[in-house]
Every structure is written in structure tokens, then in C-alpha cells.
Structure 1
């Protein structure tokens, strides 16, 4: 079970405290067991600082606390605080990775049979799509719907998400696409063939959690070979 520790303190030396955290990261490189650290400042009280540190488990957190570098940095941190910091130990019972879920939701919506569902729950209105197979980028919701209608008109399809990696405001999704060629697609009339391809997309998210930009890489040449449009 994941474990998180909240360190709550009051300090008028925030910059020094921040530099101390950088020092701890540098000194414990290759030894620390912490997987994620977040430092936040109270908007209504600039002297109120909270740090949340995540570990794979409570046991790994204890190993981290026993590092001599951690002990030394902790004593320096206490010296920078206006009063003794408090600690809250938490077992993580639910960890929502919301950006990953939003990225996955797009693949669900794109594959829905029948009328294309509304996309504004996932995309920003001025979404910018980079696809190396298109002569120009797709910009805006209307252009995105037109692009999806082309694929949906040519195929009944579904996506399988193989991997997702999230960092900052970006989510990278590796996917497999399986389709049945039912209608005209890029000049190729319906073949009734079952086809598949793999690809990767990186989505960038706006601060409100909606997708604002996407970069695609997929094997369209392999798809056209399966349709008989080009020779292998």
C-alpha cells in the first residue's frame, strides 16, 4: 500500500527551505525511497508551508527516514521553522490519476457507434492536433470532429490502451487500434477487412484538466498495406 507523509510547518524562510529540499534531493540521489514530493504554500498565509512526500509503502518510508542525509536535512529544516513542524502519516487508499482517465475517455468516445458524442468534456475548444499523416494541423473542435468522422465513416473500431505514463501536464498513451473496414477511407472503398495498427499519442492538458494539444505517431502505412492500397 502506498504511503504519504504530510509535513506542516510555519516559516519565514521559504526560499531557504526550498533550497534545502533541493539539497536533500541531490544528496539522496540513488538512495532515497520517496517517489514524489510536492511543496505548497498557503495562499492566505505565506508563512504556512505544506510538503507531501509519497512512498511505495510505509516500510520504504522508514528506510528513507533512516538515511543520514534525511536526518541531517530534517534538523536543518526544523531550524528554519518558526515552530516545531507537525507530521501526518497516511496510508493511501485511493489514488486518482485524473489526467490519465481523461485521456482514456477520449479513446472511448472516439469508438462509440452511432452519432459522435460531445467532445467538450475532454477537449478544449481551441484544441491543436499534430498528426504527421495530415498535410496541416487540425485546430479547433469542428476540425477535430471532421477528422474523427472520416475515421468513423471508414471503420467500426475500438482502442485498447496498452500503457499510460503521466508527467506534469502531459499524458503519453500507447494504444492498439482494431477496426472493420466498412466504408470509403482515403480513397479506398470498403473491403470488409479486419485491420489493426499500433500507435502513441502525447496529450497536453490545460489547467482545467481538458486536452489542449496532441501529438500522434502511428503506423498508417501498415494500415494502408492491410487494405491493399499499397504494396508491402
Structure 2
């Protein structure tokens, strides 16, 4: 699991794709992208175009059986179009939680994830930040 983040952060989507099973199923909503292997690779290509300095750092990793769960810090500078939002030059720094299921060959066969998109949109300046709690 940790290797998937390392490859994405390095911009090696082909290498990341080698770790993803052909029958991969994406359970996280990625608007405009198919919930399969190719759609997921396209999602990360688009993400890296929007945030070319994208960095994914595993902060916690727990595994049991054929599943692993990670808490990941994602940072990057918004330099390209992202979900219809033109580049802002702002830096994003958000948390996400991922669950990956691995097949018998050690490839990722399923993914579930939750990313703090509200915080990202606030950091990019496209959604106003709320009053402090």
C-alpha cells in the first residue's frame, strides 16, 4: 500500500498501474472518471496535472487479512485545472483515509476512500472558510 503512494508522488502512474489489478473496482466517487483501473489511472494523471508537486505521505497504516487502511497527508500546489477550477497557485494540505483490498497476487483489487475535499476547496479559495469553532 505504501508503495502505491510513493509511485503516485513520484509521478509514476504506469508503475502505480502495475500494482493495480485488471479487474480493479473504485468505490470512491471520482466525478467524470470510470470506477475501474483505467479511470483511476486517469484520475491520478489529472490530479498530477493540477498539482504537479503532489506528495502523499502515509501517517498511519494498519493491515489485516487482504485489506489495509492508511491515513495519508496529501500536499500540493494548484498549478492546473482541477475539477473545472482554474489554477489558483494555492497550496493544499489535506488528510485522507484509504482502504485497499489486495488480491492473491498482491495487486490492489478494490479501493474505498474519504478525502477532506471541503478543506481543500477552502484552501484553494473557492469555498469560504467557516468561522472558527
Same fold (TM over 0.5): yes
Which has the higher relative contact order, 1 or 2, with Cα contacts under 8 A spaced 6 or more apart? Answer: 2
> Does residue 1:148 correspond to 2:44, yes or no?
yes
Q: Deviations over 1:46-105 (max 9, x none)?
A: xxxxxxxxxxxxxxxxxxxxxxxxxxxxxxxxxxxxxxxxxxxxxxxxxxxxxxxxx011
Distance in 2, Cα, partners of 1:112 & 1:143? 19
Work out the number of aligned pairs and report it.
128
Gaps of 5+ in 1: 1-102
Q: What is the CA–CA distance in structure 2 between the aligned matches of 1:152 and 1:228, rounded to whole Å? A: 19
Distance 2:39 2:18 in 1: 16
- TM-score, normalised with respect to structure 1: 0.52
Task: Indicate if the aligned counterparts of 2:62 and 2:69 stay in contact, CA closer than 8 A.
Answer: yes
State how far apart, in whole Å, the 2-side matches of 1:136 and 1:182 are: 21
Is 2:22 the counterpart of 1:125?
yes
2:126 aligns with 229
Q: 1:110 aligns with which of 8, 17, 22?
A: 8
CA distance in 2, matches of 1:160, 1:207: 26
CA RMSD of aligned residues (A): 1.8
1:202 maps to which residue?
Answer: 99
Q: Alpha carbons of 1:194 and 1:120: their partners in 2 closer, same or farther (altered >3 Å)?
A: closer
Corresponding residue number in structure 2 for 1:186 = 83
Q: Give distance in 2, aligned partners of 1:209 and 1:216.
A: 19
Residues 33 and 40 in structure 2, CA contact (< 8 A), matched pair in contact too:
no
What TM-score, normalized to structure 2?
0.87
Q: Which has the larger radius of gyration?
A: 1
TM superposition outliers: structure 1 runs of 4+ over 2 Å: 115-121, 132-137
How far off is 1:152 after superposition? 0.7
**Per-residue deviation at 1:182?**
0.9
1:78-97 matches, within 5 Å, as: none
Distance 1:226 1:211 in 2: 31
Return the alpha-carbon distance in structure 1 between the equivalents of residues 45 and 30 of structure 2: 16
1:1-232 to 2 correspondence within 5 Å?
103-113=1-11, 116-132=13-29, 134=31, 138-139=35-36, 141-155=37-51, 156-232=53-129
